[in-house]
């Protein structure tokens, strides 16, 4: 089995910072892309940022310059540093990881349970 455990969400005021973490564990052979999505009430889930195994990153335009995604391969963990938060960043944030399991040898993606981020003005 594979588990993704997220932490770090919460309540912040506009302009403040939060840091999300997502740790993957289980029968993991290798991890490919790691990323963060978010879903605000009444809206579709959107990709916020991702980072490849080689360290390349990509961000949705609305968070460029404010959010930074990083990963610690030794800990199978991905982070999202969120600075200059805005009320529009309020959403449930989900981590998403593409990995190959030891048993199956197949590349599949897995989702975290979601963590709420609420930004007040």
Give the model confidence (pLDDT) of 7-38 as tens digits.
999 999 999 999 999 999 999 999 999 999 99
Distance between CA atoms of residues 92 and 108, nearest Å: 22
pLDDT at 67 over 90: yes
pLDDT at 104 over 90: no
Interval 65-85 mean pLDDT: 98
Q: Is the Cβ–Cβ distance between 117 and 6 less than 8 Å?
A: no
Other beta carbons within 10 Å of 36: 27
What are the residues facing 29 on neighbouring strands?
none
pLDDT at 71 over 90: yes
3-state secondary structure of 14: coil
Q: Is the Cβ–Cβ distance between 112 and 94 less than 8 Å?
A: yes
Distance between CA atoms of residues 117 and 115, nearest Å: 7
Classify strands 115-120 and 10-13 as parallel, antiparallel or unpaired. Answer: parallel
């Amino acid at each position: 089995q594979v588990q993704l455990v997220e932490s770090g969400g919460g309540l912040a005021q506009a302009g403040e910072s939060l840091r999300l973490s997502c740790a993957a564990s289980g029968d993991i052979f290798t991890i490919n892309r790691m990323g963060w999505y978010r879903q605000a009430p009444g809206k579709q889930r959107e990709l916020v940022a991702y980072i490849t195994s080689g360290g390349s990153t990509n961000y949705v335009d609305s968070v460029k310059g404010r959010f930074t995604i990083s990963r610690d391969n030794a800990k199978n963990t991905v982070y999202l540093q969120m600075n200059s938060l805005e009320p529009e960043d309020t959403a449930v944030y989900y981590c998403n990881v593409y990995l190959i399991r030891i048993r199956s040898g197949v590349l599949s993606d897995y989702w975290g349970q979601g963590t709420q981020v609420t930004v007040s003005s």
